Structure formats: C-alpha cells, structure tokens
Structure 1
C-alpha cells in the first residue's frame, strides 16, 4: 500500500515536523519513504507544505501531484489542495481554524478540532501532533507506537515534559477518530 500525503498550513503550525515524524515512523517499520518540503514565505504566517510518501514498495519520486491524503491546517491549504486529493482519498481539516466546508463529495473528510484539543492539553503548539495522531489512526499507514517512537526521536533534544505532552496529543488525536 502506498500513501502519498500533503501536509499543509501556516509556517509555525509544525507541518514540516508532521511530515518528518511520519517519514521517520515509516522508516522504523522498514517502509520506503520520502519527505519533500515546500516553503512559501518562510516567516511564521506564510504557507508551507511537505509531501510524504510511505510505501511497501520503492518510491520512484517524492513529487506528489494527486495525493491519497491531504492534511489542511488552514483555509489557504484547504483551498489549494482539496481539488488535488485522489478520488476516494482522505482530507483532514483542522476545524479549529478552517471555518469553510469542503466541496468534494467523492472523498472522505475528517474534521479535527486540533487547536481546541491541543488547548485542552494546555499548549496549542501540539495541534500538529493531535492532527498527526488522527491521521495515523484513520489511515493506518503506520502504527501509533511507531509514530510515538519517531516523535521521540525527532524531539530528542527537547525536555521530557514536551515529549510527554506530544505523546498525549498524538493519543488524543487518535482517540478523536476512534483509534
């Protein structure tokens, strides 16, 4: 199975980290992965996105034109990428920030109040991990345990309180979609 994903949002929402953690989790499971960043104006508030491919087979290119899944952390991301999602693909929307409804009826849509869930955990900065937990629970592209291990690896220079908070965020996101 091949998952080709676009993570997109404002700079500062942690979309690059989401992609890196997912790619790392795929590597932990001996899958073939690519991670490819794309930046708009790189200052906080500008748009940023990355593509991640996680596959059981070798990946020919990190470029993704028609993703199987899109994660839209803000309105510009939804507007830019909704039409690109493959038919019967998945669209994850940060409903805490995005107040417009998607137009597609041929894809599965997940509205995740990532910022609201993160605020309940006491830090809105973990909204990206809430969304990533929801994404992995819904798509099953990697195991949640692998995702947590990958996050620990990527944030190993941070203190244990931040890592513990990110674990809670991943698990709350997974719980939100029934994972």
Structure 2
C-alpha cells in the first residue's frame, strides 16, 4: 500500500504522526511496521520514522524508496526528498519549508501546518494538521478512517483534546497541490 517517511524537528510530533498512521492501518487489517529514529537532543533535534503499510507481508521494515514523504522542516525535505519514488507524494509544512520543490516527477502538497496549529491554539497539533492534509490529498486512508483513528489513538492514552479535531479539519481543508 505505502512506504512512508515522516520527518521534522523533535517536538513536531513526527514520531506520533507515524505511530498514529501505523495504528490506524493495523486497525484496518493491514500489516505495518513503524521504525522511529531521532537525535539525542529530543526537542529541536532531528526526528523521523518510517512506516510501511501493506496488505501482504512486510519483507523488510527499512525504506529505500518512499511512496510518501511528509517533511515538517527544510532539513527533512533536503534529506528525504531524494528517497521519494517517481510518481510519489511529498507533503510539506509550508509554514517552515520555504524553498520551492524542484522535481517534476512527484506530486507536491503543502499546508501551513505550524501556523494552523497556532491559530487553533494547539501548538503541538501541527502533526495532526498534516494528517488532515494527507487525507485531503487522498494518498493513503480516507478522511473518516484517519479522523476516527486519531481520536481512538489519544483516547487509548486517556487523552482527549477537542483542538485536535479542529487542526485535522483545517489541514484537510487547507491542503493545496503545489506547482
């Protein structure tokens, strides 16, 4: 189904974003892997995760060529865009990533994830905004499946933040194809 990389600074929720997607896909009966990677700095350092979602068996959890890359910052874009397959999808947090993407063989979508999260008074919700954008691009799972999966993920941890729903809906509505 998809080999995906979610990447950004520590504290942007990229590991949680990948974990949410893996959990949702697992609940949908898919086989998944989720491999986190982060620098020793935690907040402010680099963080990324690879997520594989498939109907079949996962031969290897490692990703050499990604179908989807979600870049929450410029260093992540620079590092992971070359791994994106031709025909792949790049999701960009345009609040932070200002450089134009220069590849004609991929689809590029942008959303002001960090700005939207701040507007919704949910500073840690930029990852949820990006999940809404991913649903809007129609590249993985449906709007309703992701929306319910986000709520279930946080509910399983005893948390409920109604601002997450607002961030998700804004990401869905504000996602735009670039170029």
Taking structure 2 as the reference length, the TM-score comes to 0.91
Q: Does 1:172 align with 2:175?
A: no
Residue of structure 1 equivalent to 2:31: 32
Q: Does 1:119 align with 2:137?
A: no
C-alpha distance in structure 2 between counterparts of 1:141 and 1:99, whole Å: 25
Instruction: Identify if the C-alpha distance between structure 1 residues 42 and 58 changes in structure 2 by more than 3 Å, giving closer, same or farther.
Output: farther
Taking structure 1 as the reference length, the TM-score comes to 0.91
Conserved? CA contact 2:8–2:75, under 8 Å:
yes
Aligned runs of 1:1-179 on 2, under 5 Å? Answer: 2-156=1-155, 157-160=157-160, 162=161, 164-177=162-175
Q: Any unmatched runs of 5+ in structure 1?
A: none
Conserved? CA contact 1:33–1:59, under 8 Å:
yes
Q: CA deviation at 1:136?
A: 2.4
Aligned residues: 175
Instruction: Identify if the C-alpha distance between structure 1 residues 69 and 171 changes in structure 2 by more than 3 Å, giving closer, same or farther.
Output: same
- Larger mean Cα displacement after TM superposition, 23-32 or 132-141: 132-141
Conserved? CA contact 1:42–1:48, under 8 Å:
no
Conserved? CA contact 1:28–1:146, under 8 Å:
no
Deviation readout 1:53-76 (Å, 9 max, x if unpaired)? 112222211111100010000010
